[in-house]
Structure 1
Amino acid sequence: MRVVTRLTWSEEKSLEKMLGNVSLRLLYKSSVHGSDIHSMNNKCTHQGPTVTIIYVGNTILGVFMLGDHPEACDNLKRANPSFYFLFQKNNVTVMKTAVLETETKINSGRLVCYSSGQEVFSVHPSESSFSMVDSLRNTLGVYIRSGNKYSECEVFHVEGIRDDINYISKITGAAKHRNSLLVELGTYKPCVDFVSEIHILLLGPVGSGKSSFINSVKSVFQGRLTRQATVGSDVTSITEQYRIYPIKDGRGGKYLPFRLCDSMGLHEKEGIGLCMDDIPYILKGCVPDRYQLNPSRPITPNHPNFIASPSLKDRIHCVAYVLDINSINDLSSKMVAKFQQIQKEVLSCDIAYVLLLTKATNCGEFLQDNFSNMDKPITSQSQIMDASKMLNIPIYNTFMVENYTSEWELDPVKDTQILFVLRQMLRVTEDFFEDLP
């Protein structure tokens, strides 16, 4: 009979991604193999890196250990770099992590983790109980008392671990930076009183990833993948309405003070895609949300829904030109001319602008190796230089991102990338506010 985990498919995949796109193989399940330390050791020793998890109500607590599982006959504490995590099963599954340099030992029938000589976490299989110090409990945000019973304990072998002494710092760097950016953006307020919400307009060819970026941002803040903006890759634009998307901080949370604006994709031929005559009105805030765009008939001041006297808070504050990084060299001269024409209008309206290069498939690996690179312009790729020169946009206002497209679960590295780009857009916009008369 095959022994299966109590983790859902979604939770298992999220954990595998958090651990660096590894695979998990179930070694021990207390309800099947026995609720005692000897049964656990018989299944788990000499297996390499492991993850031990316990189920407590709607909470899943776990510890990842990079070294071997300790043996019962070994009275020494073995240095074992590790980190702790939890899943909380409410309306949305949330993962939190804490990193500690710990040592592990089998002590009085318990699996015990020590940090600086202090016992920080332990599992007692024969009693189906656990203990945790207050500092770790507060870091994880779990409010279950030590000594509570758990319903199940499972131990997994982690396959696919890189041979790197900095492995733990790399795989937890994503979660650390992601959480920091979420807090920063969740408490963000515009630097000027006369604008309560930053409006960011995404402009680019059909299929460049405008709507996918909007969905990606909304997904990160929702804590689950959502696809509110319609996405497609047809030769004609899937988006036919001008849409202004608010961003909510979690399910039931507050609306954040920035909005992403989506429009019909640009096309090199006239009469297809976004009408160029609509763009000045969109930039000035004259076009209402859900306005039905027409490639051959632009909006006019006579339209019943035309906003005749928009205020500064209604206008576009930042334009993000969106290009597929793999198709930059395929842009026609007519398409480049359209971008240049739009850029002149953007500059005349005193609007901030950035260049967003999508479908950058190697960006996640670049960030995971060193998250300190996030604040540095990436100038090594020829496509980035070509796009920057083509549209006359400084390299420091050029960003790469890999949107969520066909995935089913969130990835902390990709989340970090998306949040970083959004934060930089807001910073560029605030720099422009400083120059407004």
Structure 2
Amino acid sequence: MELLGNVSLTLLYKSSVHGDRIEDMVQRCSHQGCTVTMIYFNRNIIVAFMLGDYSNLCENSEELNDSLWFAVQKKNGTTEIETLLLNIAPKISDKQLVGRSLEKDIFLIQPYNNTIYLTDMIVKNLKLDLYGFKTYLECEVFRVEGFKDNLNYAKKIMKAGEHRNRLLAEIRAYKPYLVSEIRILLVGPVGSGKSIKSVFHGHVTCQAMVGSDVTSITEQYRIYSVKDGKNGKSLLFMLCDTMGLDETEGVGLCIGDIPYILKGCMPDRYQLNPYKPITPEHSTFITSPSLKDRIHCVAYVLDINSIDNLSSKMLAKFKRVHKEVLSCGIAHVALLTNVSNCSEVLQDNFLNMSRSTTYQSQVTNVNKMLGIPISNILMAGNYASDLELNPVNDILIRSALRQMLRAADNFLEDLPLEETGNLSLFSPSHKSLVIFKKS
């Protein structure tokens, strides 16, 4: 269960299988150590993780247990997770499991009729729409193995979930400076296409590629809108993807295409040619690109495990691309993917993404190779499937995206007057009136 980190779960109790009496539930779950109780509804799952042992429950029990609660909800095609840390005294009373806190009953679970009651405090903090007594579909209890049995670790996991939600809210509320949408160009070696796409998978969903011929798709220049969930609105940035770089001439992205991509001259779905760049004579060439058509931030995507083994020819290709980016004055970052230990990268404050001793040599190498400031060298782990959720990995990915958007805004703010043209607008992301007049 990724909500709790790298742990394994063993099923102890399932209401539809093991009986609907509270005694059945307690008997199967006692003396098992830390447990997770999952209560399923049509669109929501309530998860209660309890530190300590699930035992010694009686009418007069006053023994307190720390518990970490999650609400996993589907909204507009996205999965939203809220967290809450509670100190409760669970006990059995009148054929139900009762949780008391500060001398008040704050939850009731009645297995005999599949009903749960949560106090308003829990409902509000978990942002649920489950007031009063509600019937659930199923109740399961699992033994948790591999979790550090201490309150500080539980608080860290909860803090990770809260920070992840704050980052997502900030990305959703983002409004770019001067343009309607930010364009972020992703550049990486041949074979990194899947990694580039999956970097943003599972939290904000890239528009899926269509068609079965993978080769033909990866040979196109693509501009992807980014949606806030399957049925959500498009967020105000786009991801631009190309063929991968290759150390061999005539293979992979043609370096001659880079200036045209950066300046916004290349149309979406243009069929790239490794031997020959696009020319102004091409029928779809954008001869007079506007500011919104241009690339506003470049992200060099590199597998963190391959950085130390980059060949001199591949490094030369990257430097040629970087020279074009610098000549255009475009914002740029490096995104190091396939980080295996996200918790170490973030450490305790969820902000430090560059001082990890494990990855310090790779960060330093990228800084020396391309001259990218260490503050703009970002890291992310990758998702293997849609079903995996990891709050710490999400923080890395969302933090990296936020950094890209900020870098793009800085690029747009620093543009000379002659490049912005006649613009008179109130920038939503700034508090002052911005007026530009063409001289």
* Band of TM-score, shorter chain: 0.7 to 0.9
Residue 394 to residue 149, structure 1, CA distance change in 2 (3 Å): closer
The TM-score normalised by the length of structure 1 is 0.86
Amino acid at match of 2:114: S
For the residue of structure 2 that corresponds to 1:47, the secondary structure is coil
Q: How does 1:65-214 map to 2 (within 5 A)?
A: 65-73=50-58, 75-88=60-73, 92=77, 94-109=79-94, 110-190=96-176, 192=177, 194-207=178-191, 209-214=192-197
For the residues of structure 2 that align with 1:154 and 1:337, how far apart are their CA atoms?
56
Residue 357 to residue 230, structure 1, CA distance change in 2 (3 Å): farther
Which residue in 2 is equivalent to 1:374?
351
Determine whether 1:247 maps to 2:218. no
For the residues of structure 2 that align with 1:368 and 1:43, how far apart are their CA atoms?
38
For the residues of structure 1 that align with 2:82 and 2:159, how far apart are their CA atoms?
10
The TM-score normalised by the length of structure 2 is 0.86
Residue 107 to residue 367, structure 1, CA distance change in 2 (3 Å): farther
Amino acid at match of 1:86: A
For the residues of structure 1 that align with 2:83 and 2:269, how far apart are their CA atoms?
44
Determine whether 1:228 maps to 2:209. yes
Residue 54 to residue 357, structure 1, CA distance change in 2 (3 Å): closer
Residue 248 to residue 390, structure 1, CA distance change in 2 (3 Å): same
For the residues of structure 2 that align with 1:32 and 1:329, how far apart are their CA atoms?
53
Q: CA deviation at 1:292?
A: 0.3
Q: CA deviation at 1:144?
A: 2.4
For the residues of structure 1 that align with 2:259 and 2:269, how far apart are their CA atoms?
17
- After superposition, the CA RMSD in angstroms is 2.8
- Please say if residues 226 and 237 of structure 2, whose CA atoms lie closer than 8 Å, have aligned partners that are also in contact: yes
- Please say if residues 283 and 315 of structure 1, whose CA atoms lie closer than 8 Å, have aligned partners that are also in contact: yes
User: Does 242-251 or 424-433 show the bigger shift?
Assistant: 424-433
Which residue in 1 is equivalent to 2:402?
423
Residue 180 to residue 230, structure 1, CA distance change in 2 (3 Å): farther
For the residue of structure 1 that corresponds to 2:2, the secondary structure is helix
Q: CA deviation at 1:176?
A: 1.8
For the residues of structure 1 that align with 2:189 and 2:160, how far apart are their CA atoms?
31
Q: How does 1:293-304 map to 2 (within 5 A)?
A: 293-304=272-283
- Please say if residues 198 and 317 of structure 1, whose CA atoms lie closer than 8 Å, have aligned partners that are also in contact: yes
For the residue of structure 1 that corresponds to 2:133, the secondary structure is coil
Q: CA deviation at 1:133?
A: 1.3
Which residue of 303, 308, 328 corresponds with 2:307? 328
- Map Cα deviations across residues 335-386 of structure 1 (whole Å, 9 max, x no partner): 2222222222212212101111222222x2315752x142453363212101
Amino acid at match of 2:10: R
For the residue of structure 2 that corresponds to 1:104, the secondary structure is strand
Gap runs ≥5 in structure 1: 1-15
- Please say if residues 76 and 229 of structure 2, whose CA atoms lie closer than 8 Å, have aligned partners that are also in contact: no
For the residues of structure 2 that align with 1:368 and 1:47, how far apart are their CA atoms?
32
Which residue in 2 is equivalent to 1:39?
24
User: Does 37-46 or 69-78 show the bigger shift?
Assistant: 69-78
- Map Cα deviations across residues 98-146 of structure 1 (whole Å, 9 max, x no partner): 2223212215233222333332222123443221112221232322232
Amino acid at match of 1:386: N
Amino acid at match of 1:355: A
Which residue in 1 is equivalent to 2:47?
62
Q: CA deviation at 1:213?
A: 2.6
Residue 367 to residue 424, structure 1, CA distance change in 2 (3 Å): same
For the residues of structure 2 that align with 1:297 and 1:42, how far apart are their CA atoms?
72
Which residue of 347, 350, 365 corresponds with 2:343? 365
Which residue of 237, 250, 253 corresponds with 1:274? 253
For the residues of structure 2 that align with 1:420 and 1:81, how far apart are their CA atoms?
30
- Please say if residues 104 and 113 of structure 1, whose CA atoms lie closer than 8 Å, have aligned partners that are also in contact: yes
Which residue of 303, 314, 329 corresponds with 1:350? 329
Q: CA deviation at 1:258?
A: 0.6
Which residue in 1 is equivalent to 2:427?
none
Q: CA deviation at 1:189?
A: 0.4
Residue 62 to residue 336, structure 1, CA distance change in 2 (3 Å): closer
Gap runs ≥5 in structure 2: 417-439
Residue 343 to residue 289, structure 1, CA distance change in 2 (3 Å): same
For the residues of structure 2 that align with 1:143 and 1:51, how far apart are their CA atoms?
22
Which residue of 289, 308, 314 corresponds with 2:293? 314
- Please say if residues 246 and 259 of structure 1, whose CA atoms lie closer than 8 Å, have aligned partners that are also in contact: yes
Q: CA deviation at 1:412?
A: 2.5
For the residue of structure 2 that corresponds to 1:162, the secondary structure is coil
